[in-house]
Amino acid sequence: MRILVNAVVTAAALAMGASAYAAGDAAAGKQKTVMCEGCHGIAGYRTAFPSVYSVPKIGGQHAGYIVKALQGYKSGERSHPTMRAIAAGLSDQDMADLAAYYSADTAKTAAK
């Protein structure tokens, strides 16, 4: 019995270690990508306003990087106007969920 308990605890610890940014829920994040797909989901897409701008690939990026980038837009540390407007409306939970979704191998967005 004791061995079984140890095994369960170890498995849980491993599962947590595998997703250090695991506050995010990829399934919930997928629902939120409707806000992002218009730009990040189209191969080779460039935004036209305020100037022609190439949209970066976010699928497959590290979750921590995505959250940090979104926080940067929200705080004003990053200055792209469209992304700032979008990030301003995202909660920490939204960012974590979106990052969990986009960092998963299965998520695909436009190549740069």
Residues found near ligand HEC in the complex (CB under 6 A): 35-36, 38-40, 47, 53, 55-56, 58, 66, 69-70, 78, 80, 82-83, 86, 98
Q: Using the minimum distance from each CB to ligand HEC, give the nearer residue, 26 or 36.
A: 36
Q: How far is the CB of 5 from ligand HEC (least distance, A)?
A: 40
Q: Tell me which residue of 37, 97, 108 sits closest to 70, measured CA to CA.
A: 97
Q: What's the min distance (Å) between Cβ of 15 and ligand HEC?
A: 25
Q: Closest CB to ligand HEC among 3 and 51?
A: 51
Question: Min. distance of Cβ 7 from ligand HEC in angstroms?
Answer: 37
